Structure 1
Amino acid sequence: MTTLGFLYPGHAAEDDYPTAQKMLGGGHTLRVEHTYGEDLHAIEELLDLGNPSRLAEGAGRLAAYSPAAVIWACTSGSFVYGWEGATEQAAKLAEAAGVPASSTSFAFVRATQAIGARKVAVAASYPKPVADRFVDFLAAAGIEVVRMSSHGIQTAAEVGTLPVDAVLELAAGNDHPDADAVLVPDTAMRTVALVDTIEKRIGKPVLTANQVTIWEALRLSGEPLVHSGLGTLFRAAASAGQGR
């Protein structure tokens, strides 16, 4: 049994992880430890939320479970640092955890590359100033955003209350004809069990925050990446690569 560790900010959609554990079909324990800061989708608050010292404390708690990899399961709390800052954040987390580490922002980049997507639409729950930083982060990896929708939701707690129909509409309703895939970047949104449904509706790959976070943990730990029910990404392992 391989344990994968996730540092999850606050409480919103962390039940995506036990849901995914069941969907993976056994052999993996997805261990979630919570970190805490002010729940606000605003630049300064997100910088504080992703502070490396805060993440190191969480990594210390995860150490008791001997995870094979640790992921900072927060998109906005990583991309808000920019490419270089997020790289340093992940490196410090790896040092604190003593195992390979990453963040949801890098998971999005690697997952987008794994499915061969170059142009994407972003269906963001965040206010525009925060969502714009995600666009910049993707651009630093050579990923073009052909449409970015910002829904202005101020807190993760509010995102976590979105009903299924609202999540489906946010994801499927913000596609673009030129996009190779649609990205839904908020780990506060319950999406793991909905990826296949959204893909069938729009006819193209969909990458969601908790989905790519779990994929990234599997990738870093060297575990198999092919699983059913979790979208195109989990059928695209051959092109995923093993780089860190």
Structure 2
Amino acid sequence: MTALGFLYPGHAAEDDYPRIEQLLGSDIRVELVHTDIGEDAHRVDTLRGAGSPERLAAGLEELRLAGAEAVVWACTSGSFVHGWEGAHEQVRGLALAAGMPASSTSFGFVHALREIEVRRVAVGATYPDDIARLFADFLRAGGAEVTAVRGAGITTAAEAGAWGERELFALARAADSPDVEAVLLPNTALHTVAHIPALEKELGKPVLTANQVTAWQCLRLTDRRVNAPELGALFTREPVVQV
């Protein structure tokens, strides 16, 4: 049995995680702890505050008692707003406080792109344009070629969590173009897990979503590989050997 630990900000699309656990199989357990986000607003200052060391550390004891073997800060914007170096400092501090391997959703996207050997991508983000551009900058720092960024202007996690299939597919279509190899949909407040196979079928390419890559990144930290086609192309490929 492998226990995966997640620190999830507030309440929005956390029901994606029981679904992920079901799709991963009987020997994977998902442990999720909610963190305090303060003000629900997609602004740089509030997002940095949501991912502060104090707020993240508050949920770690519960994950340790649950037997988590690794922990991921399940928040895209609460990590990339710190920039490339700042996001590294954030997860280093988290790993030290947790006493176990740690990462964040933003790094999950970067490592997932390397896993599926994709560089040229488009971003469809629920965020306001300025926050969406910061995510694109983070991806570029990680080696991706971001050709297009489509922001939806949503300013709260609560609003993103209320989106359904229609809005999700419209965002993915608006972001996509024939020249990109994958479409990325950040924001762990967005319900995506039930729709990944249909999204990939419609677009004809891999689709990486925030809760999907968060789970994959935590598995990666525990050296586990699970074949789960219902979680998309990311969960069906052989590992890429990094030189």
TM-score range (shorter-chain normalised) is: over 0.9
Residue 65 of structure 2 is matched in structure 1 by 64
Tell me the TM-score normalized by structure 1.
Answer: 0.96
Alpha-carbon distance, 1:238 to partner:
1.9
Give ranges in structure 1 of 5+ residues lacking alignment: none
Q: How does 1:98-117 map to 2 (within 5 A)?
A: 98-117=99-118
Residue 31 of structure 2 is matched in structure 1 by 31
Could you list the runs of 4 or more consecutive aligned residues of structure 1 that deviate by over 3 angstroms after TM superposition? none
For 1:189 and 1:148, locate their aligned partners in 2 and report how far apart those are by CA, in whole Å. Answer: 17
Residue 166 of structure 1 is matched in structure 2 by 167
For 2:19 and 2:87, locate their aligned partners in 1 and report how far apart those are by CA, in whole Å. Answer: 28
For 2:131 and 2:195, locate their aligned partners in 1 and report how far apart those are by CA, in whole Å. Answer: 24
For 1:46 and 1:239, locate their aligned partners in 2 and report how far apart those are by CA, in whole Å. Answer: 33
Tell me the TM-score normalized by structure 2.
Answer: 0.97
Residue 13 of structure 2 is matched in structure 1 by 13
Alpha-carbon distance, 1:226 to partner:
2.2
Residue 49 of structure 2 is matched in structure 1 by 48
Alpha-carbon distance, 1:240 to partner:
6.6
State the Cα deviation string for residues 181-214 of structure 1 (Å, max 9, x = none): 0000010001111111000001000000000000
For 2:68 and 2:107, locate their aligned partners in 1 and report how far apart those are by CA, in whole Å. Answer: 19
For 1:132 and 1:158, locate their aligned partners in 2 and report how far apart those are by CA, in whole Å. Answer: 20
Identity %: 51
Task: Report the AA paired with residue 6 of structure 1.
Answer: F
For 1:52 and 1:110, locate their aligned partners in 2 and report how far apart those are by CA, in whole Å. Answer: 23
Number of matched residues? 242
Residue 128 of structure 1 is matched in structure 2 by 129
Q: How does 1:1-244 map to 2 (within 5 A)?
A: 1-37=1-37, 38-239=39-240
The Cα RMSD (Å) is 1.2
State the Cα deviation string for residues 110-161 of structure 1 (Å, max 9, x = none): 0011111111000000001111110110111111111100100010010000
1:149 is paired with a residue of what secondary structure? Answer: strand
2:96 is paired with a residue of what secondary structure? Answer: helix
**Conservation of the 8 A alpha-carbon contact between 1:6 and 1:70:** yes
**Conservation of the 8 A alpha-carbon contact between 2:74 and 2:105:** yes
Task: Report the AA paired with residue 110 of structure 2.
Answer: V
Task: Report the AA paired with residue 29 of structure 2.
Answer: T
